[in-house]
Amino acid sequence: MRLSRYFLPVLKENPSEAQIVSHRYMLRAGMIKQSAAGIYSWLPLGFKVLKKIETIVHEEQMRAGHIPMLMPTLQSVDLWKESGRYDDYGQEMLRISDRHGRDMLYGPTNEELITDIFRSHVGSYKDLPLTLYHIQWKFRDEIRPRFGVMRGREFYMKDGYNFDLTKEDALHAYNRHLVSYLRSYERMGLQAIPMRADGGPIGGDYTHEFLVLADTGESEVFYDSAVTDLTFGDRAIDYDSVEQCQGVLEEFTSKYARTDETHDEALFNEVPEERRRVARGIEVGQIFYFGTKYSEALGANVQGPDGKQSPVHMGSHGIGVSRLLGAIIEASHDDKGIIWPEGVTPFHCGIVNLKQGDAEADAACESLYEALTAAGLEPLYDDRKERAGGKFATMDLIGLPWRITVGPRGLKNGVVELTSRRSGESEELSPEAAVQKIVEIYANHQTGRGF
């Protein structure tokens, strides 16, 4: 993309309404624009990152054997009355009526709808196990929408639902989700720690929230610092293997890590003092086994091998796709702007032409642009007639992890400058070597072209 032809409405001033750094940078980098409280338009740069995150979530869900689909945002209230949640949900639910006076709602989640689909089409254990998911906009009329996309009213969420014959099978689905979530967050350059969470009114031990540590997080968290040493890395995993998935769950959840809702001071005190941490975190996902709550309420039964009917065991599993943009920025920025991890960066590398209009500099930039594009990467070429300082400030603000700077002086010696946004370090290389290096960096990140 050539910046002169893109739509990147960056702001020079700090927007006064933004209280935390991710919100501030998303507005300043021209990623989002508020249209109403807690409701945003996704401008091109924000949309690109949103789609990259969404793609990672899709790829990791499908890798785990979960099946993508799409359910609508607007739902009829009938199913919610059947499950009893129409009254329970309260004011967070946006209720609407259509021209015929029929009551509708903008879905805050989809347990009812998916259970209805299941009961309409599945009746036998032979069709199990089954996990269906979608990535769709949700609406919750939050009492205090704030912090930009972190706590919106309209937000983008992946929600998946597993259907299993037995509790044992459903717990395998739970573990599979835990593994696939760990992989997803790591690909986004994030450490999200599974913490034992509160099962709410349904109770039960089988729920974990994934938290990204950040001072601006809304949750208070308590953990053994040893959990921050754990990484999933690129180990192979067989998602069908009960032992392997269970093993990962044990590895990642056996140390103390809890949100304030489940915190137990006595247990926490058993952690060696020097490893006890109290901090804040951003919830970026939650997994939940809830048994037969919805299948009983909605009559979703399956026939077992013994011919007997029983309610199907279910769980639901969510990832806050739009909130993740804020969480990643909170975890990765400096005072000049965002620092995107390679896995989600909107463009793979910036090209800054220090002397636009200089025949040699222009030609060198064009050929870098072509070489990177031919290698399947997406460069952002700042081809505007602007001062170098302004171009650097924009690149730093929008946070591309790599920048190639091209100027007549370097070109005389046959070199361009390759700079890492994260370390700030630069090296001089031939244009070919710079391209080669960027191609190698991204070879380790499954990252395709964005939208």
Q: Which residues bind ligand ATP (CB under 6 A)?
A: 109, 140, 142, 151-152, 155, 157, 283-286, 318, 320, 322-323
Q: Which residues contact 438 (CB under 8 A, 6 or more apart)?
A: 348, 349, 372, 375, 377, 402, 404, 418
Minimum Å gap between C-beta 139 and ligand ATP is 9
Which of Mg ion, ligand ATP, none sits in contact with 285, Cβ below 5 to 8 A by type?
ligand ATP
Q: Contact 145/152 with Cβ under 8 angstroms?
A: yes
CB of 218 to ligand ATP, least distance (A): 7
Minimum separation from the CB atom of position 33 to ligand ATP (A): 17
Q: What is the chain's alpha carbon radius of gyration, rounded to the nearest angstrom?
A: 24
Is the Cβ–Cβ distance between 317 and 162 less than 8 Å? yes
Q: 163 has which bridge partners?
A: 130, 314
Closest alpha carbon to 161 in 149, 175, 180, 174:
174
Determine, following the binding rule CB under 5 A, whether residue 207 of this chain makes contact with Mg ion: no
Beta carbon of residue 369, minimum distance to ligand ATP (angstroms, whole number): 36
SS3 at position 118 = helix
**Closest-CB residue for ligand ATP?**
320
**Could you give the CA distance from residue 432 to residue 430 in angstroms, rounded to a whole number?**
5
180 binds Mg ion (CB under 5 A): no
Binding site partner of 142, from Mg ion, ligand ATP, none, Cβ cut-off 5-8 A by kind: ligand ATP
* Residues 276-315 interacting with Mg ion (rule: CB under 5 A): 286
Is 316 near Mg ion (CB under 5 A)? no
Nearest to ligand ATP of 315, 320 (CB atom): 320
Smallest separation (angstroms) from Mg ion to the CB of 108 = 12
Question: Which residue, 45 or 192, has its beta carbon nearer to ligand ATP?
Answer: 192
By beta-carbon proximity to ligand ATP, the closer residue of 321 and 349 is 321
Q: Quick one: 200 or 424, whose CB is closer to Mg ion?
A: 200
Closest separation between CB of residue 286 and Mg ion, Å? 4
Burial of 221 (0-12, 13-18, 19+ CB in 10 A): buried
Alpha-carbon distance of 333 to 352, in angstroms, equals 21
**Of 157, 190, 154, 199, nearest in space to 39 by CA:** 154
Select 131 or 286, whichever has its Cβ closest to ligand ATP. Answer: 286
Closer by beta carbon to ligand ATP, 282 or else 398: 282
| Residue 323 binding partner per list Mg ion, ligand ATP, none, with a CB distance cut-off of 5 to 8 Å that depends on partner kind | ligand ATP
Judged by CB, which is closer to Mg ion: 23, or 208? 208
Compute the least distance from the CB of residue 332 to ligand ATP, in Å. Answer: 17
Distance CA 430, CA 417 (A): 8
Beta strands 402-406 and 349-353 are: parallel
Cα 79 from Cα 58, distance rounded (Å): 27
- Contacts with Mg ion, residue ranges (CB under 5 A): 286
